[in-house]
Amino acid sequence: MPAIKHSEKNRPLSPRLSVYRWQIPMMASLAHRASGMVLALFVPVYLFLLTGLTNSPEDFSRMLDWMHAWPGRLILWFTGVALFYHMVNGIRFILLDAGWFEARESMRITARVSMGAGVLAALLLGSFLW
């Protein structure tokens, strides 16, 4: 029956990411990954800043100007928030790995705590930088 063979080959894949409803723990996990990427990209920026700040006094003030200009501020804000979120959620992940908060409800609550901590960090750091 060639017709059926043909259709077996062409079976569609059922929709996944495009239809799956976002769950809080799913968001917490994706945010962990995204913030980790941001922090990995911050490594060269950190080196650039560290080199400048510990060099001649002129370099120091140039770095200070760079940090106070809006791109610098934005980068500091972004990485600061990423750092805080990644740390809080990282502690959550390690505690879960160790067998703490394993109940379904605790997993949900701790995901909310991580996300809330991230939002709080965004507000506090924002008010510090602006």
Partner 1 sequence: MLGINRFGTAHNGLGDWYVQRLTAVVVALLLPPAFVLLLSVYNGTLDQMQLLDLVDGYIGRMLHTLLLIALLTHAHLGVKVIVEDYVHFAALRIPLMGTVMIGLAAFGIWWLSVTWAWGS
Partner 2 sequence: MSETIRLEIYRYDPEGDAKPTMQAYEVPVLKPGMKLLDALNYIKWNLDGTLTYRRSCAEGVCGSDGMNINGVNGLACITDVAGLKQPIRVRPLPSMQVIRDLVVDTTHFFEQYRSIKPWLQAVSPVPEHERLQSVEERAALDGMYECVLCGCCTTSCPSWWWNGNRFLGPAALLQADRWIRDTRDEAAGQRLDALEDAFKLYRCHQIMNCMEACPKGLNPTAAINHIKRTLLARKS
| Contact residues: partner 1, CB under 8 A | 33, 36-37, 39-40, 43-44, 46-47, 49-51, 53-54, 57, 60, 64, 67-68, 76, 79-80, 83, 87, 90-91, 94, 97, 128-129
Return the number of other C-beta atoms located less than 10 Å from residue 57's C-beta: 7
Identify the three-state secondary structure at position 55: coil
Minimum Å distance from CB 94 to partner 2?
10
Q: Which does 46 bind (CB under 5 to 8 A by kind): partner 1, partner 2, none?
A: partner 1
**Is residue 1 near partner 2 by the rule CB under 8 A?**
no
At position 10, the amino acid (one-letter code) is N
Closest CA to 28 of 98, 128, 101: 101
Alpha-carbon span 56 to 46, nearest angstrom:
17
57 is in the binding site of which of partner 2, partner 1, none (Cβ under 5 to 8 A by kind)? partner 1
